[in-house]
Structure 1
């Protein structure tokens, strides 16, 4: 096992001749020096008696350190301060946090399990994880993390390592362990690679017994030991020795942790490890030996260990060690050497200048969104596409799919199913893991109605006992769905569990997600729909179909991905504070009872938040899936995309006269008005016509012949729940528009009159029903499933946000029916208003515009047409408008926030529209920014104009630009010992150099 270069000395050797180390060492009695080598277990979820016992060990036995286990961060920090203050020498405090503090402590971040990290191909993320965890350890007052696991797991039946290993490939395990370790060391946190000489190929748990590693020296050198060898040469500061029987290295059956041939000769002499050698927990059955108390502790130190972890009886251990020195089993020089090494580590971790853990903002610091970003990015990069017959994924042609999702193991809508629903309307099914055969027989016939079934296997164990605790119903349902013609199966858990499913290989597509977390479930759905690419590679061999290294790579399709603000360089705390404060002004001032805001940058939705309630009764909170009346947003989401598509096809020309497409104008005052002028709102048309007034008497009653309370062949235009208008009134509306007077000059006046006519024009040009045409060409392929006219025909009324309490026309609360009276009198289907949908689906349409006509790998409108229709058409006429689209005020960037529309920072290329009910959508191609604001500001009356008076939408819009400009704080906080992330580019981390081997 010769190495070309000498090993890098662990970093704490910089303090080999340090004055503090010398001073403390010289102040210690021999017994106290022994105490420095002992750590005991501490818990922050136990009672005062436990605390007093630890204090006793500190004051009486002068122990050198603690290893914390279960509890919470605040409680642990308080105990840490108490324990440190009681100790003569600062304590070396550690934790077993292989995948982050959340592994042991509540309210802390959990990073992906090692098996998932093993699937990640970008090692810089693993390095960043090490830095993150190092910062968190430092912030909570710890100096040691008993990680990384450097075991090569090549035994699927391993009961204790398994998913805790980075996999079965030596190179991959080495790189991942090294990046994690070096990341922690950069933060002056001591890593301890474990479990030397390798615990990966065993079917026994060293917590319960002494496992045997029965392989020869050559195999051990090239497999089990190799990661440790390379980590040592890279300068890792700590190694943990496992309780393992390795006959090829020590034929006596002595555990490696107590074995001189293994710990002393192999680890120290042959591999030249000079760092801190730590035993695995001494309370484990694998460390049991015959003899009086302290026997194993003496053997561990004599073998070459420096620190004893989890000593259960420190007093007995110290007594036994002193006796061993007297007998010559150990020497004072060995104890001195080990003690100095411990003190060097304490000096390197800055315990020479110990300060109490600061309790202010501790939770906030430990859960910094930047840390969550690292965890989320690791999860994203780990997702592994094992099979993809016919390139099914990412899904395309959404309008052809009728999808069912099935959670196999949960009896509720999972995070995965909810995330799938962000891309397309699907039907969700569930079958609990304890479900009966009857439930299975009921489910299967229902699935035959779908041409794609996406099955998520949930709720099984990460460890292999009892077949991962998979039930027969889970196995049966998964096997049956796998054999369906079109099926996608996602496994949320230990990859080895794939072997439990007999027919899994028959599935069209298989995704390995490695764990059941909200991030894993959300991101797996995004992979299926092309919001993110598939990049992971299987770190272990499952069977002949799926060997280690399997991983089909896909590209993102350009549909939305869903992430957090930090992923696009925004400080989420700052953004939340700005947005929340402005929204709350509106809530307090009753500008609206509730609202939603959705923000995206470069196709990444990084903010979607609901506020308030549907009404001022404060009974039903606003939900992400609520359906809103678009109002005038209909203009740019209904007829406008169809007209642009027809323009691309040469069937519609904005430089034609409008009368070419609406011959009724041929012999009227409007015969020569051009379409370009009309779409830019300078066609001399009146702003609006109150059609409803023509059928209402002065006393508020309806004139005879117009309204019935039940539908008939003649009265078929439904304008409310029990109000039906004479269908001939549509012709009256057309006639009123045709006969309307013209304004005296060509100037900007916002007019919606021609938008009543576009649906019929579009039907004439396409030969198709208008609604069918826009659904088949836009909403269906976009996955904008909720966007529809007359939503009451498709969804329950209680899913829809109420608008105005109409006291002058329909005399009822409007909910599920279009608010605009004119659109209502068109039967709910008009080009000026009438569309409904949720904010996420509306955003897909606007994002398609922002992409200049492309979304999800499909082009809907040519880039040239998009750029032409979204440019300011007549700036010289003091008209800011595009063709149908609204634009910023001319010279908007020079205006104050009170004068600007929309935000002063919105670019001149930006465009969008607002809706009378309180909706607003704005796209900024220059900044890649999408801003969506949905509210029902007309509840209970349109007369409430506070949304405008408070100028909230421009202020909210500007807050997003301010957050983008401000970016992330990249600074070191000396008091809190937290180094903020630094991203070289959006969503990226600095590259990491190759490991030094």
Structure 2
């Protein structure tokens, strides 16, 4: 008898999970302390308190006081063991949770459905991508990070159990309740993703829950509304549906949720829910699979279970089947009574009750409820919406977005100069973020119409059409299908144009398309979140390469695990500072300096951009076009960049010519311009001239010679109406004599040289170069810069004389001219000499926005390479970025300005000597640093309304900002 007692005790001890060699996932590291705490609680409990521990009731923090009173009654009267929170808000929930925990004798075990984050239930919280999206990612470490981040959010809000991950294998595309909640249809992929998610979340101290056992993935009905049938044999279920559970149990899965399913091959009783089946819960989950963690029923209020029997009988049946926790009972009081009645009648043993209650207490100890402390409300919202969450989300989408069709390697889009692109939005949700991001790469027009005929008519001007299919991202259950009309429209557009179809929905939507034959490229972006839209646009233009693989098959079109890989072709991307080693809080200090400059009227407005490691991390606008105006500065406004023209337009054309061998740095002016053979400048070389070391005068006020005695434009040189003889438009309705353009090169050629050879900045080299370049190509400088660089770069906001093609509302005015043109200079070049060259100067005349300037500077930073196109060789760039007269105290390279020497110069003094850039008279500044892979662009119109004062320069605004950028770099 003594031996039998000893054997029984050992068995009970093992079942309860306190032996060191068990696989009980609820054991803590300090098993002895855990056992002591569990026993101390259990041994003081009444029967009612023990049975109450089996219940987890639903609470919504946005419900009425009556609902709150009911929960308090369940805690006080029925001693419930836990709460599953549903709808509400984080602050309200935390406050309510503290209140409920305070009145519970034993701390409550808190659970939530937070499969993709707390936002599944709560407002003002973070939403990570759905499982279907994560299923497309090949790097499971990223999925583990999702689990970790969600776990950290749960823990911060006092949630101990997250009913995630969903491990259903979604082999039925029409599944109404799982779908996006599944990692996909491949059992290995689902298992690997679920394992990674679980490890991340449990590593953060929040217990995981695999659901919906034995498998809800191949159902066509919703168990919230009815009892779905899983009509497969046991061999299939064991091979597919149970596959993830086997692996996760080995890896210390904390809990399992049992679904309400009719599974005839596992439970012979007709229409008997799996959640109430002892054969399934105990026989398969506990005995065959050896699971010793907590077992939850799915919600007992769901129709799949609630339709089965009388209130309370379901609770009893669920417990007798082997479940530990009755989730969301229809009536806790009745259920507790039924279980206690069965206990008293001997249908439930003390050992059976002890097994479940002690498992629940073990879980409470493991999550720290033995040392419970209330949730802090301080910074709660910030802690649940962190910068690192956005960083992770970006990386997830970069790895998930999948290209499933890519005829002729259309993606990423290249040779932009050959493409005219339209964007057509389909679906019922916003595509604004997608469209705005597309426009950062090239000129893209949004086209819409009420009928297909009108739409096709409007699309005739375009050879490439990007169709974005946008459906609601609010929840994974929202409609995702194409309408019949949308399917027809896609087919008709694809017959006539090169089409890129981007579907911001789950992949199954594509199966309903009538045909994909004429669609050149198809992108699956999975979700319509802002980040998904932005990243998809960046992928289309090659800012990063595609890596995603389909987690499910799409009808007869594409198999599971299919997807094209595409390269990163080194176009600028857009991201969060921390992803490239920059502290965003430190970087944000720039805001104050820019705001100060505007407030103190150093400039009416500013465009500011910072890029690092090929990613734009800061791109903001400040102020307005004018001090008194209403037009606020926006991303697509353009500025007169003044002398930045030198390195953005003229210099790259010179670099091309040098690389082609048409000139060298030692070529003399007399060798390329016959007019200079008898000039005092005949022996000036390109090297000396572009280094500003050639004794050339700084500038010449050419306009001054064309004014009359009253210092107004002389009638000899100007007319208010255009004609062949007066065809140079220097300002609105002011035309200079056509032949006077020829006088400017002559004046420069015949000008005196400075007496002493020293570094002296001069505009003259770029007047000279303009003449040489235009004569060589027999084309104008603006045409050359546009065709050789701006069009292929996608720098479509970069242009000379923007008043011809761009609305004045998008052009920032430059000055109220009271000395030459006597009008507002708006859309016309500010520089007088450039204006007298019909607005096209080698030294000035270019208009652009910060984003376009950054593209050109990034091309330089990448030594002549951008967007899979090499504009010139690395050695060519290095040649021009060299200071040849450094020993002569000349800081300049060939065309590029360089950091200061002897404390004087154009930078903050904190940049490497390898860095380069230029500044402009209107307040502009562009600088690139190869060592830190940094691009900084500052555009302003400090010359408005008057150019006489230069507070911007005097107060070092541009270089103070540059210093703050460097202070923000952390690695």
1:616 aligns with 2:631: no
Matched, 1:333 2:344: no
Aligned position for 2:908: 903
| Residue 962 in structure 1 maps to residue 958 in structure 2 | no
User: Offset of 1:575 from its aligned partner?
Assistant: 2.0
* Deviation (angstroms), 1:745: 1.4
* 4+ residue runs over 6 A deviation: 460-467
Distance 2:448 2:125 in 1: 30
What does 1:673-692 correspond to in 2, within 5 Å? 673-692=684-703
Whether 2:346 is the aligned partner of 1:346: answer no
Distance in 2 between the 1:8 and 1:914 partners?
A: 68
Match of 2:643 in 1: 632
Q: The residue matched to 1:916 in structure 2 has which SS? A: coil
User: Which runs of structure 2 are paired with 1:467-478 in the superposition (5 Å)?
Assistant: 468=480, 470-478=482-490
SS at match of 1:504: coil
Q: Secondary structure at the match of 2:422?
A: strand
Q: For residue 22 of structure 1, what is the aligned residue in structure 2?
A: 39
Q: How does 1:419-430 map to 2 (within 5 A)?
A: 419-430=437-448
User: Which residue of 1 is the match for residue 181 of structure 2?
Assistant: 164
User: Is residue 568 of structure 2 the alignment partner of residue 551 of structure 1?
Assistant: no
What secondary structure is seen at the aligned counterpart in 1 of 2:963?
Answer: helix
Q: CA deviation at 1:618?
A: 6.0
Uncovered stretches (5+) of structure 1, i.e. residues with no partner:
1-5, 968-997
Task: Determine if contact 1:158/1:464 at 8 Å carries over to the other structure.
Answer: no
Alpha-carbon displacement from aligned partner over 1:930-979 (angstroms, at most 9, x marks no partner): 111112222222233222222122221122222112x5xxxxxxxxxxxx
Distance 1:334 1:596, change over 3 A: farther
2:3 maps to which residue? none
1:10 corresponds to which residue?
Answer: 25
Report how far residue 866 of structure 1 moved.
0.4
Cα deviation digits, residues 534-581 of structure 1 (max 9, x gap): 1111111112220111111111111112211122122323322x2222
Report if aligned partners of 2:429, 2:470 keep a CA contact under 8 Å in 1.
no
1:44-94 deviation line (CA, Å, top 9, x unaligned): 333333333333332332222221222222222222222222322222212
Distance 1:412 1:295, change over 3 A: closer
1:952 to 929, 941, 957: 957
What do the CA deviations read for 1:875-928 (whole angstroms, capped 9, x no partner)? 11111111110100136xxx6xxx774133321111011111121111111111
Q: Check conservation: 1:645, 1:861, Cα contact below 8 A.
A: yes
What is the match of residue 652 of structure 1? 663
**Structure 1 partner of 2:11:** none
SS of the aligned residue for 1:419 comes to: helix
1:32 deviation in Å?
1.7
Of stretches 537-546 and 172-181 in structure 1, the one that deviates more from structure 2 is 537-546
Q: Is 1:39 paired with 2:56?
A: yes
User: What CA distance in whole angstroms lies between the structure 2 residues aligned with 1:49 and 1:811?
Assistant: 75
- Cα shift at 1:21: 2.8
Please tell me whether the aligned partners of residues 805 and 941 of structure 1 are also in contact (alpha carbons under 8 angstroms): yes
Measure, in 2, the Cα distance between the counterparts of 1:102 and 1:869.
54
Inter-partner Cα distance in structure 1 for 2:26 and 2:897: 61
Q: How far 1:380 sits from its partner (Å)?
A: 1.3
Report the alpha carbon displacement of residue 289 of structure 1 after superposing the two structures with TM: 4.7
- What CA distance in whole angstroms lies between the structure 2 residues aligned with 1:487 and 1:800? 32
Secondary structure of 1:254's match?
coil
Task: Tell me if structure 1 keeps the 8 A contact 2:713–2:821.
Answer: no
1:802-817 superposed matches below 5 A: 802-817=813-828
Q: In structure 1, what is the Cα distance between the partners aligned to 2:709 and 2:104?
A: 89
> Which of residues 432, 438, 453 in structure 1 aligns to 2:465?
453
Deviates more, 1:153-162 or 1:450-459: 450-459
3-state secondary structure, aligned to 1:249: coil
Pick from 450, 453, 471: which aligns with 1:441? 453
Distance change in 2, residues 1:699/1:120 (3 Å): same
Deviation per residue, 1:363-410 (Å, 9 max, x gap): 222111111111111111111111111111111111011111111125
The Cα offsets for residues 120-163 of structure 1, whole Å up to 9 and x where unpaired, read as 00111000111111111111221111100100000011100111
Could you report, residue by residue, the CA deviation over 1:481-531 in whole angstroms, capped at 9, with x for unpaired residues?
A: 233451111111021111111112431111111111111111111121111
Q: 1:118 to 1:83 in 2, by over 3 A?
A: same
Distance 1:821 1:56, change over 3 A: farther
TM superposition shift of 1:766: 2.5
Question: Aligned with 1:302: secondary structure?
Answer: helix
Structure 2 regions of 5+ residues with no counterpart?
1-20
- Structure-2 change in CA distance of 1:55 and 1:819 (3 Å): farther
- Paired residue for 1:267, among 260, 274, 285? 285
Aligned-pair distance for 1:466? 11
The 1-side partners of 2:838 and 2:537 are apart by: 37
Cα-to-partner distance string for 1:656-713 (whole Å, 9 max, x where unaligned): 2223233333223222222211101111111111222222235332222122222111
Instruction: Describe the SS at the equivalent of 1:742.
Output: coil
1:482 match: 494
**Number of matched pairs:** 948
Q: How is 1:65-76 mapped onto 2 (pairs within 5 angstroms)?
A: 65-76=82-93
* Residues 15, 347 of structure 1: 8 Å contact kept: no
CA contact (8 A) 1:542 1:548 kept: yes
Q: 1:519 to 1:465 in 2, by over 3 A?
A: closer
Deviates more, 1:483-492 or 1:245-254: 483-492
Structure 1 length as normaliser, TM-score? 0.92
Offset from partner CA, 1:282-310 (integer Å, 9 cap, x none): 11111125544211111112111111222
Q: How big is each residue's C-alpha offset from its partner over 1:247-277, in whole Å with a ceiling of 9 and x where there is no partner?
A: 1111113211111111111111111111111
Distance 1:945 1:853, change over 3 A: same
Question: Residue 319 of structure 1 aligns with which residue?
Answer: 337
SS of 1:635 mapped into structure 2: helix
The separation in 1 between residues aligned to 2:113 and 2:546, in whole angstroms, is 31
Task: Indicate conservation of the 8 Å contact 1:561/1:604, yes or no.
Answer: yes
Q: How far, CA to CA, are the matches of 1:40 and 1:152 in structure 2?
A: 28
Relative distance call for 1:355 and 1:809 in structure 2 (3 A) is farther
* Distance in 2 of aligned mates of 1:382 and 1:323: 53
Which residue in the other structure is 1:850 paired with?
A: 861
